[in-house]
Amino acid sequence: MNNEVWQFLKGVADHWGSLLTGGVIIAAITLYERRRGEAIPWRAALFLAALALVFSMFLAWRDQYRGWIAERQYRSRVADDLAGLRHTAQKRYYEWWEACNDPTAAAKAKSAAEELREMIVNKLRKEISAAEADYFNTPRMFEPFPANRTLVTCHESPLINEFGYRIQRLSDIIQRVLDRGRKERSI
């Protein structure tokens, strides 16, 4: 919160300085003083400074608001991208599961799943954080093996199961990305 207040005050000072030292206000004062041959009254200068301060507060608020909107749009885009990858991962999961008893098809499905896993890890590292990439990629000891009998008879079933749990963890990550945007909006 203190950093946000500081950023706002810095923005106000930057805008206020720009408004008071250049542009239309200075040109108007200069023209007035040249035409009249005298300095503007103190009250008029104070009024212009106050008006510039109020306007600079608006400009600083607008800058922060636009930044917040851009961050929200970015989070939404990242969540949409990750949701698309999750959907593709679910397809790879079922393809791998169904191809489990055919060694050639299973190897192809495993390769496709591994390529997708690496793509998701890289996207998470780049767009979110290394911690979220690690959360997605690290198998958990407490994740139970599914009761599905077809998967149990497959020799790669632990890897397929692990990939399925990664998809679930990706859902958790997407939800956290979206929730961060909501929490920031409510503050």
pLDDT tens for 137-184 read 988 776 666 655 555 677 888 888 888 889 999 999 999 998 876 655
* Token pair recorded at residue 179: 């929730």
Best CA proximity match to 171, nearest among 93, 67, 70: 93
pLDDT-based confidence at 28, cuts 50/70/90? Answer: confident
Q: What contacts 25, CB < 8 A, 6 or more positions away?
A: 19, 48, 52
What distance in Å separates the CA atoms of residue 182 and residue 187, rounded to the nearest whole number? 9
Other Cβ atoms closer than 10 A to 53: 15
What angle separates helix 42-98 from helix 24-36, to the nearest 10 degrees?
170
Mean per-residue pLDDT over the chain, rounded = 87
Domain ranges of the chain: 2-186
Q: Measured between alpha carbons, how far is 90 from 81 in angstroms, rounded to an integer?
A: 14
* Share of residues in the chain with pLDDT > 90 (%): 50
- At CB < 8 A and 24+ separation, what contacts does 79-82 make? 79/174, 79/177, 79/178, 81/123, 81/127, 82/120, 82/123, 82/124, 82/170, 82/173, 82/174, 82/177
pTM of the model: 0.68
Q: Do residues 172 and 126 lie in contact, with contact meaning Cβ atoms separated by under 8 Å?
A: no
Residue 16 token pair: 């206020």
